[in-house]
Amino acid sequence: MHALVRNLGRISKHELLHPHSPEEQHILENLLDEEKLRCAKIHPLTILTAWNSYKLGHSIRNESPMQWPVNQTVADALETAFYKSFSSCVATNKKILIAIDGSEEMIKPVVDLQQVSARSAAVAVALLMSRVESSTEFVLVSDSVSPVYVHPYDNLETVSFKFSTSECACLSDDASNPMEWAMTNSKQYDAIVFFTTCATNGGNNFNEAMRQYRSRLGRPSTRLVVVAMTSNNNSITNPDDIYMLNVVGFDTKAMKVITEFIR
């Protein structure tokens, strides 16, 4: 199943996906079968990457560029498979805050997810969490923090719109706004996950804000995860704090690490 999803462009290039052909039917049967997706343990981010890549009609790999005719029925099936694949994800049953960087830098591509922007990947995670977890809240972070209400019945387009900004937003230099907002509103979380483009400056302020949050709300073991989605070798979380995790880049493996860390 993984190989099938990964090679849809190549299959189309060799003209094996004609409308109403047996090959098309075989692929549709696999993509639309929720049980097969669950058994194959295909993560929604894997489907999202394949969907974004396939509907574009060409690859972006410089060493071996490739073009293919897009079978719209298959493209639509990938969209459906994206939502169906949520059933393979297991809830942590923790109370979580998902904070997403609202700056324009989030339109940059994720290092380890071909043809997926940082914002699209973060929004996909938000949608996934809204469907899998029972107690997750979401905020958009710029020079201020705005709650975003994501519902399990939302689709990716709707959630993307909710996280879009009408004007250029600049991320605060210390990036501590999510913790400050949580303290101000007395929000009790087991984990705070911040999706941003890269590890920003002001690590001392960032770590101090997390220390204050834990102290004021009496939650000494609240986890903090900072995901630098477009890669940066710097880390702003305290390496001596066992309840802090700094992730550089982002893919399905990183998401699994984050989930296990929170659990």
Per-residue pLDDT tens digits for 80-129: 999 999 998 999 999 999 999 988 888 888 877 767 889 999 999 999 99
Distance between CA atoms of 138 and 38, rounded to whole angstroms? 26
Q: What is the pLDDT of residue 219?
A: 96
Task: Give the phi and the psi of residue 32 in degrees, each rounded to 5.
Answer: -95, 5
Distances (CA, A) of 125 to 130, 153, 157, 218: 9, 14, 13, 28
**Residue 247, strand partner residues:** 227
Whether the pTM exceeds 0.75: the reply is yes
CA-CA distance, 44 to 231, in Å (whole number)? 21
Dihedral (C-alpha) 114, 89, 214, 226: value to the nearest 10 degrees? -10
- CA 82, distance to chain mean position in Å, is 13
What residue ranges of the chain have pLDDT lower than 50?
Answer: 166-168
Residues near 28 by beta carbon (within 8 Å), at least 6 away in sequence: 73, 74, 77
Partners of 245 in the beta sheet?
Answer: 225
pLDDT at position 63: 58
Q: How far is Cα 75 from Cα 27, in angstroms, rounded to an integer?
A: 11
Q: Where are the alpha helices (DSSP H) in 100-202?
A: 118-132, 156-162, 177-184
Please tell me the predicted confidence (pLDDT) of residue 168: 47
